[in-house]
Structure 1
Amino acid sequence: MAQQPPHIAIIGAGIFSRNTYIPRLAEISDLFVLRAIWTRGAVEIAKKFFPNVECKWGETGLSEIIDDVSIIGVAVVLAGQAQVEMSLRLLKGGKHVLQENYYQGLNIVAYSAVSELETAMSCYNSFNVAPIWAIAENYRFEPAFVEGRKLLSEVGDIINVHTIIEGSMNISNPYFSSSWRRSFEGGFILDMGVHFIAGLRMLVGCEITSVSALTSHVDGTLPPPDNISSTIQLENGSSGVFVMVVSSKSPKVLWRVVGLKGTIQVERGNIDGKHGYTVMLFTGDGGNKSWFYPFSGVTDELKTFLADTSLATMKKDQSFPVEHRLSFLEGARDVAVLEAMLESGRRQGATVQLARYRANLSAVSLDTVAYVTPYS
């Protein structure tokens, strides 16, 4: 007998839920059944694609989703500060969770001994059955970074890496007026930057061991800081820079890895009306090749979560390791780098080591949210 598609729910009706999650889920609607959406704010949009979806709200509606044994997976797409508490409640109720934002709620700073992370993971590990706890970080699923990583052997030993981010967070951007993104230290640097760090770590295939950064606040319409310039040290011995400006009149998003035998470049752009990334390989003989990959990270990420939840449900104890790109630990490491940069900025460029943070993370039992190195 063919396995039935998993039944899932969505918690949240913010901008990303309405504009991205629901439309992307509609593209793969043959892979699952959307049973419920918790909020009134997005039900009309959801019903355009999923006419049978039930609208839930309030404490009663949330309890109904948790008590519904047919719903095995939930996408939590709330304001960052509410993510962890909601995820833990759903996990305790036996639901597999795809948590959209990692950082707030776990206010991880390089010198905080990750106490909040340890508290959350201790709570998670106390559950009799620990479902999948996945952290959405769609850049790791973008084909440009997957394919760019495969090209690393073509450029030889890494000499230098640099990431240049000139964003366009202004009044025309739908996220500009988002209040929750303005209510924590780091603001858009942390909210946006964690994705760019994920892309960087995916591309270079090794960890960042230390950073030294300077930050400042120039644009008064944005929360501080609104720009950051950081040097980074990689565990392979090479170094580089990470520069991010939250709002620029001439946006640019670029990663570049310079090696002994060539260079890899990944740059965001638009070709024939499709938004995505161009991957370029420059070789030592003066040649170059390029490939364009349209955005598909969110869709591929959702497909992976749905597949993992189905496989986990087939096992009676639900013990199934989530795909490494969705792992809780990968999200933690992305945030650790940004928090270390912000910490360094507060200390006028002092070097901040990430080794201690990673050691603490390694001591945290992840159980079913298993970390499998993506770089081997």
Structure 2
Amino acid sequence: MAPTGIAILGSGIFAKEAHLPAIAAVGSSVVTLKAIYSRSEKSAAGLAADAQSALKLDSKPDVYYDAAPNANLDALLARPDIVAVIVVLPITTQPDIIRKALAAGKHILSEKPVAKDVASGLKLIEEYEKQYKAKGLIWRVAENFEAESGYQAAARAIKEGKIGKVIFYNARVVNYIDQSSKWYNTPWRTIPDYQGGFLLDGGVHTIAALRTMLPSSFKTLSGFASLNKDWLAPHDTINAVVQSADGSHGIVELTFAAPTTSRSERAFNGITITGTDGWLSVNQVKVIDGSRPVGGLRVTVVTAKRDKDGKDIGETEEIIDKETDGVPNELRYFIDAIGGSDNGLGTARGALQDVAFIQAGLTSNGTPINLEKLVS
């Protein structure tokens, strides 16, 4: 089978630092990067040069940008050798680009979040399902936490009953964002025109991880949001209590406003899920492979041991380490779906649940919000 011809739409940090390495990891026998699009020639050409180096290409991918009448986005989308596009653009820019690419008959892998809010996400999803899904066009949302082998391993452990029935859970993400951070110093993040700021852009990752592992969908949320650093407007912190459809419940703490780096470093960030017969945790770790630090996820699974009378007699512990691989995996799954083998990950409706959680956390102000109703 010939490799799938793809283009990257967008030339920012994540396109360079995550998607190019993912394309390299998946391999040229599976995908071929044919073109780069950005609003400006300079940014598109810069990523094309990076791509030639990272992918060891004989020549640079073709460059497309808005001011070129014969080499703009419309011209790129008209190319029959480009079967699919990876959309890595600002949150509020993506929906119209997705619509344009679908109308051109392209399969799409678009970066999370699926939209700036639930209403616009629902509208886009309904358009896709009514007009393009039946034509065989694949649209997946690139939520890399959902595709991480570590979170998938944790989900399997829960499904296999290693911790019994889930009864409660908690997720904690305490981040320190400095104004010199590369993630802050992009214009669309510095002055966000979407709800939640970093909470939407980054917070959906944690919700996606929970959604991937928990056996039941979120049902009701009550929480509070606040702004604690003016330059992280409109909000930088959410604390929420949530109940799942199966009756289990949890606490979710998300902030990008830690006052010092130590507050983040010593926060014990991660996710813990407790069941009737044990518990598991998932934490980010770095493992030294030779002289190279490798980022990954460590899943700790603790199972209660009981005698024939049900008396506790100890516990067993299993450690599962998985190297970070979410972005290459989501690309592999996307290409598989185009070829007719779909594992069900990366759906737009799944990603909409993550946006709904953040939106509810921002707007609840203590009032319970029905998350199932919100996404319906």
Q: TM-score, normalised by structure 2?
A: 0.85
Q: Which residue number corresponds to residue 350 of structure 1?
A: 367
1:239 maps to which of 229, 245, 249? 249
Q: Which residue number corresponds to residue 35 of structure 1?
A: 34
Q: Which residue number corresponds to residue 307 of structure 2?
A: none
2:94 maps to which of 83, 99, 102? 83
Mapped pair 1:305 → 2:300 = no
Letter in 1 for 2:143: E
Report how far residue 286 of structure 1 moved: 2.9
In the alignment, structure 2 segments of 5+ residues that lack a partner are: 305-313
Report how far residue 36 of structure 1 moved: 0.7
1:159 maps to which of 167, 176, 187? 167
Runs of 4+ residues deviating >4 angstroms: none
SS in 1 for 2:108: strand
In the alignment, structure 1 segments of 5+ residues that lack a partner are: 109-113, 313-320, 361-376
SS in 2 for 1:168: coil
CA shift digits 1:300-335 (9 cap, x unpaired): 1111112222x15xxxxxxxx854211111111111
User: What is the distance in 1 between the residues matched to 2:316 and 2:180?
Assistant: 40
Identical positions, percent: 24
CA shift digits 1:141-196 (9 cap, x unpaired): 11111110111111111221000111232235311122223332200011111010
Cα 1:119–1:277 shift into 2, 3 Å: closer
Report which stretch shifted further, 40-49 or 82-91: 40-49
Q: Which residue number corresponds to residue 277 of structure 1?
A: 297
Report how far residue 116 of structure 1 moved: 5.7
SS in 2 for 1:154: coil
User: What is the distance in 1 between the residues matched to 2:277 and 2:80?
Assistant: 55
Cα 1:283–1:120 shift into 2, 3 Å: closer
1:287 maps to which of 316, 330, 335? 316
Kept in 2, the 8 Å contact 1:94–1:130? The answer is no
User: What is the distance in 1 between the residues matched to 2:294 and 2:272?
Assistant: 22
Letter in 2 for 1:185: Q
SS in 1 for 2:162: helix
Q: What RMSD over aligned residues (CA atoms) do the two structures have, in Å?
A: 1.9
User: What is the distance in 2 between the residues matched to 1:17 and 1:282?
Assistant: 38
User: What is the distance in 2 between the residues matched to 1:115 and 1:200?
Assistant: 23
User: What is the distance in 1 between the residues matched to 2:297 and 2:124?
Assistant: 38
CA shift digits 1:337-356 (9 cap, x unpaired): 11111111xxx211111121
Kept in 2, the 8 Å contact 1:124–1:130? The answer is no
Q: Which residue number corresponds to residue 16 of structure 2?
A: 18
SS in 1 for 2:216: coil
SS in 1 for 2:175: strand
Kept in 1, the 8 Å contact 2:121–2:352? The answer is no
1:341 maps to which of 346, 355, 361? 361
Cα 1:256–1:269 shift into 2, 3 Å: same
Q: Which residue number corresponds to residue 368 of structure 1?
A: none
1:268 maps to which of 284, 295, 300? 284
User: What is the distance in 2 between the residues matched to 1:234 and 1:5?
Assistant: 42
Report how far residue 115 of structure 1 moved: 6.2
Mapped pair 1:327 → 2:343 = no
User: What is the distance in 2 between the residues matched to 1:124 and 1:286?
Assistant: 48
Letter in 2 for 1:275: G
SS in 2 for 1:98: strand
Q: Which residue number corresponds to residue 136 of structure 1?
A: 142
CA shift digits 1:116-161 (9 cap, x unpaired): 6235523662358351111111111111111101111111112210
